[in-house]
Amino acid sequence: MSPVLMNMMNEARADAGIPFTVNSAYRCTEHNADVGGRPASAHLFGLAMDIACGNNHDRFLIARALFKAGFTRIIIYKTFIHADIDGTKPPEILCLY
């Protein structure tokens, strides 16, 4: 895992004031394929984490903390939030799935 990513996540977790349950972080190629990850997923390079969130209040706290910690690539899913620092991908995105 990228030390930069880990430091940013630790900062975000402290700011959010709630535990971050990590659903996915570094993935090998086989696991990435098994879970339907993209072939060039940031998870393959230790540059991404998926954080579980079960309600709208936690979703808000997590997203706000990720932005404050400097994340600019955030994807919000129904049950988790993906954040990455992959510089090979378009910066400043916020997607909903």
Q: Provide the b/e sequence for 29-51 (b: ≥16 CB within 10 Å).
A: eeebeeeebeeebbbbbbbbbbb
Does the domain at residues 3-96 carry the CATH identifier 3.90.1310.10?
no
One-letter amino acid of 22:
V
Domain limits, the chain: 3-96
Rounded CA-CA distance 37/65 in Å is 25
pLDDT one-digit tens code per residue, 2-15? 999 999 999 999 99
Q: What pLDDT is attached to residue 87?
A: 96
CA-closest candidate to residue 20, choices 12, 32, 8, 29? 12
Task: Give pLDDT tens digits for 48-67.
Answer: 999 999 999 999 999 999 99
What is residue 68's three-state secondary structure?
helix
- Helix orientation angle between 56-68 and 3-16, rounded to the nearest 10 degrees: 130
